[in-house]
Amino acid sequence: MTDATTAQQEPVVGVSDLSVEYAAHGASAACVALHGVSFDLEPGETLGVLGESGSGKSTLARLLAGRADGGGRAVNARITGGDATVCGFRLRRLSARSRARLTFHVGYLAQDAAATLPADRTIGEIVADPIFERDRHYNRRAAGQRVAALLEAVLLPLGLLSSFPYELSAGQRQRVALARALVLGPDLLIADEPTTGIDVTVRQAVIDVLATLGRQNGFSAILVSQDAPLLRSVTSRVAVLQAGRLVGLGPLDELLRDPPHPYVASLARAFAPGPSADDGGRIEA
């Protein structure tokens, strides 16, 4: 077996006994966000991450995407135990240069991505931005073709290229944000609540887009979501977090049928297979 073949068989993400803490800030004491979390993500696999508010799932997403030094509390997040490897990069003591290289391989859809699209940029400019952030001399015609192909892939008309975010619906803005996260052709997509705030009639379209793009492009993905139809349609397994600890890992319906932890049992009681269209299939913890 060649080294290249061996490398291809390694997990895209390897999380080993990972603990993450927010440092003390002002009157706020230090806070453990993740404690002893372990799992792997195999090439081509899509993993869901499920948990109540404050369970550490968004911290995990930002960390694995190489954005744990982003705005807000995340700027003080640090690995205090274990480690994680993403696309071959070890995250503990990751240098600024290596972090920049990592983010080239990881597309990240933040929870507020649709709401924070630049209001003064056209949709075409917004989706193309990551290309020119990497290489400001990149061929503009090639970039335009890439952007147009992605807009079609996320089921948006090309006529929106010259539109501004305020002219689009919430569902359209979310798909623009998704196209932007994918424009560099990442090996891994990490999306935090990709269907949140979207009307239930549009939510299925976003779910279908994620499933189709995953099959066509062959990338791996981690989807943080409370959206049961999304988790069932797109993921092979889910990781369930509670208070920063991993309390369940496996196919969603198997976990709900045979809960390995009281918190997972509470999810099973709150959610039954085949949710009604009224609630959009979201699991409320």
Q: Do the Cβ atoms of 173 and 117 come closer than 8 Å?
A: yes
Q: pLDDT higher for 69 or 119? A: 119
The tokens describing 78, both together, are 């640090």
Cα gap 191→113, rounded to integer Å? 10
HEC letters along the chain:
CCHHHHHHHCCCEEEEEEEEEECCECCECCEEEEEEEEEEECCCCEEEEEECCCCCHHHHHHHHCCCCCCCHHHHHEEEEEEEEEECCEECCCCCHHHHHHHHHHEEEECCCCHHHCCCCCCHHHHHHHHHHHHCCCCCHHHHHHHHHHHHHHCCCCHHHHHCCHHHCCHHHHHHHHHHHHHCCCCCEEEEECCCCCCCHHHHHHHHHHHHHHHHHHCCEEEEECCEHHHHHHHCCEEEEEECCEEEEEECHHHHHHCCCCHHHHHHHHHCCCCCCCCCCCECCC
* pLDDT tens per residue, range 202-217: 777 778 878 887 777 7
Residue 38 sits at the vertex; the CA angle it makes with 14 and 186, to the nearest 5 degrees, is 35
Residue 241 sits at φ, ψ, to 5 deg, of -110, 140
Read off the pLDDT of each residue in 117-142 and give the average, rounded to a whole number.
95
Q: Do the Cβ atoms of 128 and 138 come closer than 8 Å?
A: no
32 class by beta-carbon count within 10 Å (0-12 exposed, 13-18 middle, 19+ buried): middle
pLDDT band at residue 273 under the 50/70/90 scheme: low
pLDDT at 68 over 90: no
pTM of the full structure = 0.88
Question: What sign does the CA torsion over 51, 20, 76, 70 have?
Answer: negative
pLDDT at 19 over 70: yes
pLDDT at 71: 47
Architecture of domain 3-270: 3-Layer(aba) Sandwich (3.40)
pLDDT at 56: 94
β-pair partners for 79: 20
Cα gap 262→233, rounded to integer Å? 25
Q: pLDDT higher for 125 or 72? A: 125
